[in-house]
Homo-oligomer: A and B are copies of this chain.
Amino acid sequence: MKKEKEIFKKYLVGKGLKLTSERELILEEVFSRHDHFDAEALFQAFRARSENVSRATIYRTLPLLVESGLVQEALRCGERVCYEHIYGHKSHGHMICIGCGKIIEFENKALEKIRKKVCEEYGFKPVEFRFGIKGYCKDCQKKL
């Protein structure tokens, strides 16, 4: 079993929840994508393949994935909540362009250090963290 499935199952069982086929499909779809996506994008992907997973189930499952630590909300790109899988990825920050919607990811080792330090200082148990900058990318600055 893939490591992320094990983790998800362990998380679910620990809460008295079940690893259903729908939840497995969602998990697989989420880890097949290497970009930012929203609930609707998952729904459309399933529909295109005639796999039946309802919107309701997708909306119910995403928070479970977040709580399990496999996925996090990404900086909102528009009206919908966006997600990305994080298991197996270094934590990274995002720059999102107000002009064209482009998302630039960047890694920075210091970010992780700061996060740890601050959480220790306040006895805070982190689940999800985010470093985001909104602004204008190189191209969009020219157009202004």
Contacts and interface: CB of A to CB of B under 8 A. Distances in A.
Contact of A133 (B97, B104, B119, B136): B119
A134 B141 contact: no
A141 B125 contact: yes
Given A95-B124, A123-B138, A124-B138, A133 B108 contact: no
A17 to B, nearest CB: 16
Copies in the complex: 2
Given A95-B118, A114-B111, A118-B106, A134 B126 contact: yes
A41 interface: no
B122 A127 contact: no
Contact of A127 (B104, B106, B110, B136): B136
Nearest to A108: B114
Interface residues of A, number: 33
A108 B113 CA distance: 12
A101 interface: no
Contacts of A128: 133-135
Contact of A138 (B122, B127, B130): B122
Contact of A118 (B93, B123, B134, B137): B93
A97 B75 CA distance: 18
